[in-house]
Structure 1
Amino acid sequence: MRLHKCIFLDRDGVLNRERGEYTYKLSDFEILSGVKEGLEITKKSGYLLIVITNQAGIAKGIYNTDDVLKCHSYLQAHIGDLIDDIYFCPHHPVTTESLLRKPDSLMLEKAIAKWEVDTDKSYMIGDSLRDIQAAEKVGVKGILVGEKDSNNSTAPKAKNLLDAVNKFIVS
């Protein structure tokens, strides 16, 4: 059995602009600069690309699963369908506790099993400490992008996805 190397990606703040509120309308879904290029580089380097995202607005009744799927279709259409799979957690502790929700690691565990991922050769790129914590639980190297939790983690840091790819993955 051949294991695959993988880049796990948080969504909001890594692939699209983090607005500080829920992003579920296409009119608010802004793909960040350098995302397509960063994904193309990793894909050409033989990595699977899998999104791992909390979508608590579903549990809170702010939006629904269809809204999330529309955003993901829009993302795929604008980056050339480079993402291999997308996992999202619709739960939030206000309604339902779930091991899917980061910083827990069940979404990652499911993806690792389904896609036969080699955790030693894989990364999680996220913009918050909970992304790094989830990665650590499954033995994946975490890379923190942006400024949100940059002082609270010893994980390698980058400005954005493209910077992370160039500094830590294909350097």
Structure 2
Amino acid sequence: MKQKAVFLDRDGVLNVERGDYTYLPEDFILEEKVPEALALLKENGFLLIVVTNQGGLAKELFTRAQMQACHQKLQQNCRDIIDAIYYAPSHPAVSASLARKPGSLMLEKAIAKFNIDPSKSWMVGDQLRDMQAAGKVHVKGILVGPHPPETYLQQRTNLWDATQLILSHK
């Protein structure tokens, strides 16, 4: 049986967007109500899959170990509820990649591995490139964060509000 999933961008959705690379655990601060939103999605049968561009790796601004320490903090703060974390370590200034959003390879890999039904799945991101990646694999997108009205078809303030929208589509 195919599963449903919520794909989640990291910076600006799960943790506070600092405007700079977030790679130190002490700078990795969860957005408001993230653990509660993830728990609610999980209770409603969604797989939780993080898909994040991490171009600072290609630029050698931080190490994989530093990034993984942030992911470990995320899991600890959310009771290890996230099913998978995919990251694209490339940056256009250094290297090309099909994985990096707006490319859809991270989503495609998760869809194949977890037998996900895109028509029952969602992507929550804070950039239009997240919505473009979702569109390429026919996953519905919700743009979160401080964007002008009508920037995207479905917009919400944050992950908690996006979760309410997702759950209203039963």
State the TM-score bracket (shorter-chain normalisation): over 0.9
- Tell whether 2:95 aligns with 1:96: yes
Tell me the secondary structure at the aligned position of residue 63 of structure 1.
coil
SS at match of 2:80: coil
Equivalence for 1:164: 162
What's the counterpart of residue 45 of structure 2?
Answer: 46
Q: TM-score, normalised by structure 1?
A: 0.96
Q: Distance in 1 between matches of 2:16 and 2:158?
A: 11
Which residue does the alignment assign to 1:114? 113
Does structure 2 retain, via aligned residues, the 8 Å contact 1:58–1:91?
Answer: yes
Q: 1:60-83: CA deviations, max 9, x gaps?
A: 110011111110001000110110
CA deviations on 1:124-143 (whole Å, 9 max, x unpaired) are: 00000000000000000000
> Counterpart of 1:165 in 2: which secondary structure?
helix
**1:57 maps to 2:73:** no
Q: Is the 8 A contact 2:143 2:152 kept in 1?
A: no
Cα distance in structure 2, aligned partners of 1:68 and 1:155? 32
SS at 1:3's partner residue?
coil
The secondary structure found in structure 2 opposite 1:143 is strand
**Larger displacement relative to structure 2 (150-159 or 124-133):** 150-159
TM-score, with structure 2 as normaliser: 0.96
Task: Output the CA distance in 2 between the equivalents of 1:137 and 1:152.
Answer: 21
Superposed, 1:15-164 pairs within 5 Å as 15-148=14-147, 150=148, 153-164=151-162
Letter in 1 for 2:61: I
Q: Write the distance in 2 (CA, Å) between the matches of 1:153 and 1:135.
A: 16
